[in-house]
Amino acid sequence: MYRDKTCGELRIEDCGKEVTLSGWVQRTRKMGGMTFVDIRDRYGITQVVFNNEVNEELCESANKLGREFVIQVKGTVAERSSKNNNIPTGEIEIIASALTILNKSDVPPFTIEDNTDGGDDLRMKYRYLDLRRPAVRSNIELRHKMAFEIRRYLDSENFLEIETPILVKSTPEGARDFIVPSRMNPGEFYALPQSPQLFKQLLMVSGFDRYFQIAKCFRDEDLRADRQPEFTQIDCEMSYVEQDDVIMMFEGLVKHIFKYVKGIEFNDKFQRITWHDAMKYYGSDKPDMRFDMKFVELTDLVKGKGFAVMDDAELTVGICAKGCAGYTRKQTDELTDFVKRPQIGAKGLVWVKIDEQGGIKSSVGKFFTDEQIKEWADRMGAENGDLLLIMSGDAMKTRKMLCELRLEMGNRMGLRDKNVFAPLWVVDFPLFEWDEETQRYYAMHHPFTSPNPEDIPLLTTDPGKVRATAYDIVVNGTELGGGSIRIHDSELQDQMFEILGFTKEKAQEQFGFLMSAFRYGAPPHGGLALGFDRFVSILAGLDSIRDVIAFPKNNSGRDVMNESPSPIDPAQIDELNLAITLPQE
């Protein structure tokens, strides 16, 4: 062992001990006849002192150390004269008696400190150096801790972690599967799994009634800002359960993680909201519940008063921003500009200020009397000093726009604290989505999702109204995961396939082995999957999942550190019975 202590553990009570530390040179400072070297490892930073008068040669070596050199230091722990209260080892220093350079370092391309001068691209290229920065390291440590606690909770609840294959069957419709040519089976391909969905359902058929896996999943999608071609899911499935059993089990998991990882205890049950109410009151199926500011519909109050925008609108709906009546014209203009941005696309915004004396000022004073506006304010529960923000138009579109505005107001009003967590279950999702373009229904979750038993008669009469036994868990406006109770009855499954436009042949081709398995006694079952990267990023207070992944890829699916993907040896392509058909330029 090159050390007997880490750089993070020595304290005032260790004074006098002879110790050996190893680590990286964080910085060196020369002051008079003394040289101070900060030595860093995963556990912390410790100050080492070299005294020119005591040992000139040793001090001379210390003076030659560069940033990020790897060194071993032997010495005695001593109390510092000027203490540093910002670090746990700040009361002590090591009086060096020996110094060994274990490895040198080139000058790093950026400073390895929390406030680095390295840009994004440079830090990605030298990811192994970026990972040395405490801010990045702590995300990886958090990820480990969370994975460990997830396993501890699920193991205690009798779940078995079962590895499912990475080389799986390609499904004809999965045009976005990554595929893997098989050398031993020429002309044939494996696919990488988009999720272990089929396998976990098979495991239920096998009788493993509580399965989980922290599983790598793959999607060959065009990557949006915060997607990765490979990502990690906490994938779970249970047998002999109903929706509430699954929800309570994984509510328990989320509570466990918050408690043991963040020290935050949730004593009450998480809020639940139906999908319908989430859309109606927040304009989103993943509302941020850290603040209220619920939508209030005003359509009936505003129609027929001669204001064409509202007269023609399917829906007029608003939010009440508490205490914001003092917003200046500039501020309300900013809000109007915000909703008019192409990403949101609103035509305009109506505002009403109710001043501290109850006086009303609004952008639609020409069309409505104060009494009429007072009615709006009453319905919206507005008080003196509040600001009302109101939008009109097509119902679903307007709700989505107002959702964005609500979040913006949450930001402006400081209501979206990263240290506050508001978990929420969204339930009663529609089973189907109607697609105008192809004129058919699609499964909102997947084709194995069970309809709400009460709604089964609607399957034949009004499929669009059927509620799924599906649920999402949302934290702070981000979807953490979701799941459903699955269909275990093969007749109901056939009916689903029919509604979804699968022929018997196609269903057989795609899901044949699952359907066969279901003939041999499938138990009632359901489950869910949580996005692990997302879960970590929420607890880390980060917006992106990239910083909680040790070696992420960029938006083109490239690892810029090792330059993959890359061209490969043509002989290898040959051996796979493949040819590259790039257009010659």
Footprint of its own copies on 258-287 (CB under 8 A): none
Angle between helices 197-205 and 504-518 (to 10 degrees): 40
Give the whole-angstrom CA distance, residue 214 versus residue 236. 9
Looking at beta carbons, which pairs linking 550-554 to residues 24 or more positions away fall under 8 Å? 550/127, 550/131, 550/140, 551/127, 552/124, 552/127, 552/228, 553/228, 553/229, 553/230, 554/124
Q: Which of 343, 461, 520, 585 binds its own copies (CB under 8 A)?
A: 520
Q: Kindly state whether residue 565 participates in binding its own copies, applying the rule CB under 8 A.
A: yes
CA dist 305 and 365 (Å) reads: 12
Q: Is residue 226 a contact residue for its own copies (CB under 8 A)?
A: no
Q: Which of 76, 97, 105, 274 binds its own copies (CB under 8 A)?
A: 105
- Using CB under 8 A as the binding rule, the residues of this chain from 111 to 130 that contact its own copies are 126-129
What's the number of CA atoms in the CB half-sphere (13 Å) around residue 520? 11
- Residue number, 125 or 406, with CB nearest to its own copies: 125
Q: Provide the strand spans (E) within 8-69.
A: 18-31, 34-41, 44-51
Near its own copies by CB under 8 A: residue from 11, 104, 440, 446: 104
- Interaction of residue 414 with its own copies, rule CB under 8 A: no
Segment (H or E) for 370: helix 370-379
Task: List, in order, residues 6 or more apart from 263 with CB less than 8 Å away.
Answer: none
Toward its own copies, which CB reaches closer, 405 or 549? 549
Distance between CA 299 and CA 412 in Å, rounded? 27
Distance (Å, whole) CA 365 – CA 355: 15
**Minimal distance, residue 134 CB to its own copies, in Å:** 10
The answer to whether 9 contacts its own copies (rule: CB under 8 A) is: no
Write out the binding residues for its own copies, residues 432-471 only, by CB under 8 A.
Answer: none
> Judged by CB under 8 A, which of 108, 252, 385, 447 binds its own copies?
108
Q: Looking at residues 176 to 215 of the shown chain, list those that interact with its own copies (rule: CB under 8 A).
A: 177-192, 198-199, 202-203, 205-209
Q: Which region, judged by CB under 8 A, interacts with its own copies, from 297-305, 324-332, 492-500, 568-576?
A: 568-576
559 makes contact with its own copies (CB under 8 A)? yes
Q: What angle do CA 127, 128, 133 make, to 5 degrees?
A: 85
What residues between 44 and 83 interact with its own copies by CB under 8 A?
Answer: 68-70
By CB under 8 A, name the one of 10, 317, 522, 529 that touches its own copies: 522
Q: Is residue 224 helix, strand or coil?
A: coil
How many CB atoms are located within 10 Å of the residue 572 CB?
Answer: 11
# of chain residues touching its own copies (CB under 8 A): 121
Sole binder of its own copies in the list 31, 225, 308, 582 (CB under 8 A)? 582
For residue 90, the minimal CB distance to its own copies (Å) is 20
Tokens for 283, please give them: 């304009």
Q: How far is the CB of 561 from its own copies (least distance, A)?
A: 6
Candidates 60, 114, 121, 163: give the one binding its own copies (CB under 8 A).
163
Q: Which of the 8 DSSP states describes residue 241?
A: -
Q: Residue 108 CB, nearest distance to its own copies (Å)?
A: 6
Given candidates 74, 80, 216, 262, which one binds its own copies under the rule CB under 8 A? 216
